[in-house]
Amino acid sequence: MPARSCTGRVVVITGAGNGIGRAHALAFAAQGAKVVVNDLGGARDGAGASAGPAQAVADEITAAGGEAVANTADISSWAGAEQLIGQAVETFGRLDVVVNNAGILRDRMIVTMTEPDWDAVIGVHLKGTFAVLHHAAAYWRQRAKEGHANEARVINTTSPSGLFGNPGQGNYGAAKAGIASLTVIAARELDRYGVTVNAIAPTALTRMTQDIEMMRAAAATGDLSPDAISPLVVWLGSAESRAVTGRVFGVWGNAITVLEGWVNGPNVSRDTRWDQAALSEVVPALLAKAAPNADTAGHRNPAG
């Protein structure tokens, strides 16, 4: 029987009570990991709370012979994120992997979005990812200072909506774009402590996306199961991925792509400050040479 890739590794997964997070938890456990299943147990828009989803996944793992505990902390709060990381270390004696997956949706057009809609989505996605990352990084830094070697991994969750843009998701897209940038920065900061940081932009049919017609249509012709996302995440959480950091991967069905971020394109300069009249010619000329922005699926349309 082949060795399991994550035997003995302690993994924290946020938003693991349903959908993609649940698939991650089961997949890591199947590879021998000890899993902390975090889920507040709220509705898709973040309302309410229940211990049921996290406990059900933890019970499923233990019933199959694995090791898991449930956690219902609100990771959008500083204290909740700290408690989550603390529970992992206290229960299993260490922490090796963090998968930031928790999320909610409150889709609105910009002109109808309310302040609570914005704050709630930014809070769970962007602040929640940072808060959990912060407390995990502090733990790994302390270990490094004490002379221990880390083989640690962080896998964040961004989205095509944040990388390519999707109308009606200004709050969600802004949070997910922030997570992608945070991933690149964290990878550079934490490398010295033996920590890699990567992100995935998954496409799957879950309770978050089941009412999107485009998603239902795509699922009818291909595999958009949450289970299809997890193999890459488990690999990124294993020791085998130590050379990979600061990268964002798109993943859906049986397809994986390396997403290429912002780069300098066509440019022009001169010895004196630009005046507005000159820019009326210069800027269109630059744009004519530049690659167009990607569409919502991440593809470039040469016709604009």
Our answer to whether residue 145 is catalytic in this structure is no
Max CA distance (Å), the chain: 72
254-284, pLDDT tens digit by residue? 999 999 999 999 999 999 999 999 999 999 9
For the residues 104-120, what does the mean pLDDT come to? Answer: 97
Catalytic residue among 139, 172, 238, 241: 172
For residues 104 and 182, give the distance between their C-alpha atoms in angstroms, rounded to a whole number: 19
Q: Would you say the C-alpha torsion 104, 169, 115, 134 has a positive or negative sign?
A: positive
Residue 44 · residue 57 · CB < 8 Å: no
Q: What is the pLDDT at residue 216?
A: 45
% of the chain at pLDDT higher than 70:
92
Give me the chain's average pLDDT, please. 92
Kindly indicate whether the domain formed by 10-259 is annotated with CATH number 2.40.110.10: no
Catalytic residue among 5, 76, 159, 241: 159
Residue located via tokens 């229940």? 50
Residue 224 · residue 253 · CB < 8 Å: yes
163-191, pLDDT tens digit by residue? 999 999 999 999 999 999 999 999 999 99
Q: What is the pLDDT at residue 205?
A: 64
Place 45 in a pLDDT band, splitting at 50, 70 and 90. Answer: confident
What φ, ψ does residue 31 adopt, rounded to 5°? -100, 15
Domain boundaries, the chain: 10-259, 265-304
Beta strand residue intervals within the chain, DSSP E? 10-13, 34-38, 67-71, 97-99, 152-157, 195-203, 248-252, 255-259
Our answer to whether residue 176 is catalytic in this structure is yes
Q: In the predicted model, is pLDDT for residue 192 greater than 70?
A: yes
Catalytic residue among 76, 127, 139, 176: 176
Beta strand residue intervals within 63-110, DSSP E? 67-71, 97-99
Our answer to whether residue 34 is catalytic in this structure is no
Q: In the predicted model, is pLDDT for residue 105 greater than 50?
A: yes
Q: What is the pTM of this model?
A: 0.92
Token duo for residue 187: 């990878």
Beta bridge partners of 13: 37, 99
Q: Who's near 278: CB < 8 A, 6+ residues apart?
A: none
Q: What is the pLDDT at residue 43?
A: 86
